[in-house]
């Protein structure tokens, strides 16, 4: 079970962040804050203590804290973000995580975004994308295999990050877009495939036995309801405009070694 989540308040110029989603309209800061508050409330309702970092006006994407670290019971790996404009976000995340975990770091020329890293039980899938390179994946593999984890790398041909297309729903169940569902590395898992037009909802977040999912995707909602788990829908319109999703907005972890959530 997760006990803690680290989040960051979006800054006033969050709309200046990196995005390819201009077709969705101009981001609304006040609405973003309300949606972020609802997200934090959902995490608290699931028993997590939420640690809130202040806005970073020099880094408009900094509220996407997941990209700055990968946290497991044994260690917190501080990343080296793949987008040059985001390098530096990790500096204010590391001291906070260091109060709870031993730290390891991805060093240049390696790059790694947490959005490319999916943990299922004790097996990591690491997407090789525009943000995560082979050297970053190699360093991450070295850190995690030394702690008993398996690591598989997966080329990311579509989407910003691996978790834009694949996420864990608990047990042996994954939710994936059609572009990712047939990957050989996912053989042996129960893969639910997002219906046409609902790829964004592949970024569904499993927390302590509950599924948090973007509102407005009825086909994905039907798939999730079939799992028999509680489902909470959250309005993600402003985060989506900035190429973000539910997983991006927090770092979830357990505060004691050996008690981490999936």
Does the active-site annotation cover 36?
no
Q: Nearest CA to 125 among 153, 148, 164? A: 153
Cβ within 8 Å of residue 207, ≥6 positions away: 2, 43, 46, 48, 252, 261
Token readout for 199 is 């790829």
Which residue among 36, 63, 161, 168 is the active-site one?
161
> What does the alpha-carbon distance between residue 117 and residue 76 come to, in Å, rounded to a whole number?
13
Which residue of the set 4, 11, 36, 248 is catalytic?
248
The verdict on whether 11 is a catalytic residue reads: no
Tell me whether strands 205-207 and 166-168 are parallel, antiparallel or unpaired.
unpaired
Q: What's the N-to-C CA distance of the chain in angstroms?
A: 7
- Order across the sheet with 173-176: list the strands: 166-168, 173-176, 190-193
Other CB atoms within 10 Å distance of the CB of residue 249: 25
d(CA 133, CA 13): 28
The set of catalytic residues is 161, 248
């Amino acid at each position: 079970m997760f006990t803690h989540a680290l989040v960051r308040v979006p800054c006033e110029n969050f709309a200046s962040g990196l995005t390819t989603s201009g077709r969705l309209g101009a981001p609304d800061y006040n609405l973003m804050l309300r949606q972020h508050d609802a997200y934090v409330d959902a995490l608290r309702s699931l028993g997590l203590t939420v640690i809130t970092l202040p806005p970073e006006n020099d880094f408009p994407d900094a509220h996407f804290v997941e990209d700055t670290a990968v946290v497991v019971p044994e260690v917190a790996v501080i990343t080296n973000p793949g987008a040059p404009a985001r390098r530096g976000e990790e500096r204010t995340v590391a001291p906070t995580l260091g109060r709870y975990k031993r730290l390891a770091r991805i060093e240049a020329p390696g790059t790694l975004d947490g959005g490319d890293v999916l943990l299922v039980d004790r097996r990591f899938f690491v997407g090789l994308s525009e943000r995560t390179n082979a050297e970053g994946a190699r360093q991450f593999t070295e850190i995690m295999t030394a702690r008993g984890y398996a690591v598989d790398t997966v080329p990311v041909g579509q989407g910003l990050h691996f978790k834009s297309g694949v996420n864990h729903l608990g047990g042996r169940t994954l939710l994936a877009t059609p572009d990712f569902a047939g990957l050989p590395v996912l053989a042996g898992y129960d893969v639910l495939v997002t219906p046409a037009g609902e790829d964004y909802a592949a970024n569904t977040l499993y927390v302590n036995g509950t599924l948090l999912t973007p509102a407005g995707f009825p086909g994905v909602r039907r798939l999730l309801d079939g799992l028999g788990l509680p489902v909470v829908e959250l309005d993600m319109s402003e985060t989506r405009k900035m190429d973000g999703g539910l997983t991006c907005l927090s770092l979830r972890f357990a505060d004691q070694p050996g008690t981490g959530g999936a």
